[in-house]
Structure 1
Amino acid sequence: MRTPVILRRTMAAVAAALVLTAWPALTPGGADAQAAVPSTLQLTISNNSGRTDPLYIYNLGSLLTVNPNPQGWADASGTFHQWPTGSIPPIPAPDASIPGPANGQTMTINIPRFSGRIYFSFGQKLDFRLASGGLVQPAVQNPSDPNRNILFNWSEYTLDDTGLYINSTQVDMFSAPYAVGVKNTSGTVKNTGHLKPGGYNNFFNALKGQPGGWGNLIQTRSDGTILRALSPAHGLETGALPASTMDDYVNRVWQKYSTSTLTVTPFANEPNNKFYGRVSGNTMNFTDGSGAVVTSFQKPDTDSIFGCHKLLDAPNDRVRGAISRTLCAGFNRSTLLTSSNQPDNNSADFYKDVVTNHYSRKIHAQMADGKAYGFAFDDVGNFESLVSDSNPQTAYLTLDPFN
């Protein structure tokens, strides 16, 4: 997994926290792949949104060509600018915005060797601040965040020696529709993130109609404009969703595996590398093939499940992290009761229980290719909205219609 080294906090926060972004494991491409990856890559931005308000683009991240990786922004030419030192309380960051193309227009910028985000906002520039620990990014689950009433979204990407990895994401929120793509040096184009026709409106209508408080995730502006739907993890923070949302499912899982075994095979290319889970009291203990306990998980709460953190913490290792990723996917997709062999990579089995991550379920249902980042470890089984190439020539960011 790859985590962009960018700090994300509410404006009132004092302690910084790393952005939690699920990136797939990257495999070095060797000398040929390294030679094929340029130091900057063209990104073509197409504005098909149908909106007439001004568009602003931001390319923020950690520069990967310098060690340790400094944080900053890139201008339209791909030139890197390091953030100045921040303070407490946070101070305004330099204006890193790039004027974007008007509706129906296209423009091209250069993106450098970054691990970071490409933000875009409609009608108003985003408010970024600098704290002593780094960049303060929008956190619209905080009602006092200055970006709360701005319509915006972002893509995540890594461009390094092994190639380009770029995704659309809904891990934090579902908002302005867009897709990402890459064309390689052979002319092959891959893209992901497009909604089905009517998918934008269908998603919000479906969320409004879902019992249990799910419609409370939707945030609107005073003029009635729908801005976004918060992820359920952030919905727990705001009180939009009850803290007990997943409790019934967790209780049933704990009951099942107190008398049977959950088998986790976390690596598809290592079918003999298995771990075995059994519940004892409040704890699920996992053993390896020799019977030795390798890690244990306390009974997770809803926040741990939707955030894939806390009691389901996933360090970047081959045991606890690998098992935790699988558990997180199984809980969010509600597959742990229907199959005792995980991960279950048959999408026909996903989200069938009445207790599930309905936010992620409804997003996947509206995606043209079925792929999305509805929660942090939606890449388990490769159901994430990611494209990559070891020989990239051009990247694409396409802003789609709001319908």
Structure 2
Amino acid sequence: MRGFFNLAVASATALIGLSIANPIPVTQVDDSGSGSDIIMTAGNTLNGTLYPTNLTTSDTLQLSLQNNLGNNVNAYITGKDRNNALLPQKVTAPVAIQLGSKGTTKQVTLPDFMTSGRIYFAMGTINFFTVLNDAGEIGLVQPAAENPRDPSAGVEWGFVEFTYNENGVWANLSFVDFVGPSFAMQLTLANGGTQSVRGLQPGAVGMICDEMVSQAKQDGQPWDKMCVKSKSGQALRVISPLKYRALNPSALSSYYDGYVNKVWAKYAAEDLTVDTQGAAGKVKCRVNGNTLSCAGDNRGYQKPSIDDILGCNSGPFTVQPGDNNVHSAVVPRLCAAFYRSTLLASGGNVQPHAKSDMYYKSDPTIHYGRIVHKYEIDNLGYTFAYDDVNPDGENAAGVLAGANPKMFTITAG
């Protein structure tokens, strides 16, 4: 990629002097936030066409940004317009949305549809970069929570995700990559209906860090290393195990091996039933050799690795073009069962089956997911990609969705 300078993307600042280097695997950052290296991955790079065409501004969305974090809070809105463009423009002034003092609200109008959207809140200033690849696509490089030398590493920040199009608004609280400041969301529709997600308890980052330290002492796994603190000891964020392993590949590398082998042995002797909840009925699966095969599925499943379980989008949990509806329905339910360690539990031969109070009860399990959910006020918010897989009548995802939105409110803090 080559630098594409003197541009702003949505509310993002383009900086000259891009430095790409391998990150250093430490979990302490400089209080100044003056890191010098950035990383570009699929997780923190948003790609779009270079120039918008036929841009219209008739489809607006009202945003209400409520500041309960502090007195030096900035907001940034990023995303792609209806033409898959990132809206480049020259930087002529500071582009952060400066919020008022703690307890105040700022109204913002989003001028058009936006996909892959994020609304960032930062206790200070965070940095974005634009680059241009050889295909003529402009890319927005966003702060990377897992990189201790990211230019925004010493700043406390976080975001909510959303899409706004002709079908309405879809938004969620995501802890798939990391946990940062507490956010709550409310969506008000034109018909008067409202939906809300209350988010994390105040001060949750510090409490989650404490529990991750305690869990590391119990099982010797590096849960505590996923807690990122400033030199002064302030808990800034907790990164997910998948993001931590990207910097430390040996961490948790054999953590699930014994569990996976027990699952394969169990379902070589009996059926695993996957309830696709309307997609394809209840599907019977059985292990034969090294492969778990499901009735009506176009292909089988090999034993997953730890990264497959954490990410739910690699190895046996990859959904490819041409996969049938059985495969597309089995993948999320099977990965969720591994992530939550419910396959060997009582009743685990039917997935999904166990209620949420039975998740993360077996050893090993993904304690990051267990601990983060513990500090969610209403137990809503993604801790992994398929947290929306639940038994009928339950929902752990933290999603707001509705047509004809009147107001989208985000409370930070």
2:81 to 40, 60, 63: 63
In the TM superposition, what is the alpha-carbon distance from 1:326 to its structure 2 partner? 0.9
Q: 2:405 aligns with which of 351, 376, 392?
A: 392
Q: CA deviation at 1:19?
A: 4.0
Does the alignment pair 1:135 with 2:145?
Answer: no
- 1:383 alignment partner in structure 2: 396
| Corresponding residue number in structure 1 for 2:288 | 280
Residue in 2 aligned with 1:102?
A: 101
- Residue 131 (structure 1) shift: 4.0
From the superposition, tell whether residues 94 and 294 of structure 1 become closer, same or farther in structure 2 (CA, over 3 Å): farther
Is 2:196 aligned against 1:191? yes
Secondary structure, in 3 states, of the residue corresponding to 2:338? helix
What's 1:89 paired with?
none
Gap change, CA 1:99 and 1:340, over 3 Å in 2: same
Give per-residue Cα distances to partners, 1:32-89, cap 9 Å, x unaligned.
xxxxxx711111011112x33x22211111112x3xx21x2xxxxxxxx3379xxxxx
- Going from structure 1 to structure 2, the CA distance change for 1:17 and 1:199 (only over 3 Å counts) comes to closer
Q: How does 1:28-177 map to 2 (within 5 A)?
A: 39-49=59-69, 51-52=70-71, 54-64=72-82, 66=83, 69-70=84-85, 72=86, 81-82=87-88, 96-111=95-110, 112-115=112-115, 116-132=117-133, 133=137, 134-177=139-182
Cα distance in 2 for partners of 1:93, 1:301 equals 48
Q: What are the equivalent positions in structure 2 for 1:231-380 lying under 5 Å apart?
A: 231-239=240-248, 241-266=251-276, 268-270=277-279, 273-288=281-296, 294-311=298-315, 312-315=317-320, 318-338=325-345, 339-344=348-353, 346-380=355-389
Distance 1:127 1:162 in 2: 29
Shift of 1:156: 0.5
Alpha-carbon distance in 1 for matches of 2:20, 2:333? 33
Residue deviations 1:159-206, cap 9 Å, x none? 111111111110100011111110112333221142246644432221
Q: 1:251 to 1:94 in 2, by over 3 A?
A: farther
Specify every segment of 5 or more residues in structure 2 that has no aligned partner in the other structure, as ranges.
1-18, 23-37, 46-57
| CA drift at 1:142 | 2.8
The offset of 1:16, in angstroms, is 6.7
Q: Give secondary structure in 2 for the equivalent of 1:330.
A: helix
| Cα distance change of structure 1 residues 304 and 259 upon mapping to structure 2, 3 Å threshold | same
2:44/2:141 contact within 8 Å kept: no
TM-score (norm 2): 0.77
Are the aligned partners of 1:58 and 1:97 in contact in 2 as well (CA < 8 Å)?
Answer: yes
Q: Give the structure-1-normalised TM-score.
A: 0.79
Identity percentage of aligned residues: 31
Q: Aligned to 2:300, what secondary structure does the other structure show? A: strand
Aligned residues between the structures: 349
CA-to-aligned-CA distance 1:308-348 (integer Å, 9 cap, x gap): 12212234762333211111111111111221111225212
RMSD: 2.8
SS at match of 1:257: helix
Cα deviations across residues 83-124 of structure 1 (Å, max 9, x unaligned)? 79xxxxxxx999642222321211011123111211121122
Match of 1:322, SS state, is: helix
Corresponding residue SS for 2:406: strand
- Partner SS, residue 236 of structure 1: helix
Cα 1:286–1:216 shift into 2, 3 Å? same
> In structure 2, what is the Cα distance between the partners aligned to 1:96 and 1:254?
53
